[in-house]
Amino acid sequence: MIEVKNIEKSFNGTKVLKGISTVFETGKTNLIIGQSGSGKTVLLKTLLGVHIPDSGTITFDGRDYAKLDKKEKRDLRTEIGMVFQGSALFDSMSVEQNISFPLRMFTNKSSKEIAMRTNEVIERVNLEGANSKKPSEISGGMQKRVAIARAIVNNPKYLFCDEPNSGLDPKTAIVIDNLIQEITHEYQMTTVVNTHDMNSVLEIGEHIVFLKDGVLVWNGNHKEILRTQNEDLVDFVYSSELFKEIRRVSLLMENK
């Protein structure tokens, strides 16, 4: 669990995060949504320690990040897995080498142990047979799965995903959504996903945080979002005619 209390963050005198308080729950897919400029990326980077908040606290299972010493912060970082927006794979490395990279860099595991764990996650994300391929030789969806496998290879407690469906077709995006949700439940991780994909919101949004102009204006889940009367959220989520119709039909079915 990651608990955020009254987080404030400014850049050059402009306040970007304004008193954000929420809890990202263990074993659930926690989504951060909002328009460009809403503060969602800044919030994600603040959770990761890239930005230091001006005030407020962030605790990881009771550990206040600001109060940890250097070693404790370093240890905490080994408990974090990250899926980057563009996958951020090493072009010169094979699928297997990309996935095993965190184990080789940050653990003392033997070559045999690294190979065993790497193949475990390769199998888990359905990449069997792709071990020796380079990123340029596999599809965008497979590259995302490599990025997810690399993020979970070290058994993290916390998984962060920045726009994991960026650049994917809708069918492949659903596969990636389902994989993220499955491994979150399976490994009981605290997963935080920064996304603008409304399909993801409606499919896997077990806990959703909606930001507008740096303010948290709504918390809920993908079922509650269909019934919300929050005008800002309705305007954001149901901006297309398709999603407006989905909401209308959902409300009609509930009222029958």
Does one domain contain both 211 and 199? Answer: yes
Q: What is the DSSP secondary-structure string of 14-80?
A: EEEEEEEEEEE-TTSEEEEE--TTSSHHHHHHHHTTSS--SEEEEEETTEEGGG--HHHHHHHHTTE
Does a structural domain hold residue 13? yes
Mean pLDDT, the chain, as a whole number?
90
Does one domain contain both 99 and 215? Answer: no
Question: What is the mean predicted confidence (pLDDT) over 208-225?
Answer: 92
Does one domain contain both 14 and 75? Answer: yes
Domain count within the chain: 2
Does one domain contain both 150 and 27? Answer: no
**What confidence tens digit (pLDDT) does each residue in 175-194 have?**
999 999 999 999 999 999 99
Does one domain contain both 71 and 181? Answer: yes
Q: How confident is the model at residue 67 (pLDDT cuts 50, 70, 90)?
A: very high
Indicate the residue among 155, 173, 188 that finishes a domain. Answer: 155
Indicate the residue among 99, 131, 155 that finishes a domain. Answer: 155
Does a structural domain hold residue 182? yes
Does one domain contain both 6 and 28? Answer: yes
Does one domain contain both 102 and 44? Answer: no
Question: What is the mean predicted confidence (pLDDT) over 110-127?
Answer: 94
Q: What is the DSSP secondary-structure string of 131-177?
A: TT--GGGS-HHHHHHHHHHHHHTT--SEEEEESTTTT--HHHHHHHH
**What confidence tens digit (pLDDT) does each residue in 229-256 have?**
888 888 887 766 666 676 667 667 666 6
Q: How confident is the model at residue 226 (pLDDT cuts 50, 70, 90)?
A: confident
Q: Which residues pair with 219 in a beta bridge?
A: 209
Rounded Cα gap, residues 110 and 103, in angstroms: 9
Does a structural domain hold residue 235? no
Q: Which domain holds residue 101?
A: 91-155
pLDDT of residue 247: 67
Residue 100, pLDDT above cutoff 70: yes
Does a structural domain hold residue 14? yes
**What confidence tens digit (pLDDT) does each residue in 124-161 have?**
999 999 999 999 999 999 999 999 999 999 999 999 99
Does one domain contain both 4 and 54? Answer: yes
Rounded Cα gap, residues 37 and 40, in angstroms: 8
Does a structural domain hold residue 84? no
Does one domain contain both 134 and 165? Answer: no
Q: What is the pTM of this model?
A: 0.90
Question: What is the mean predicted confidence (pLDDT) over 40-57?
Answer: 94
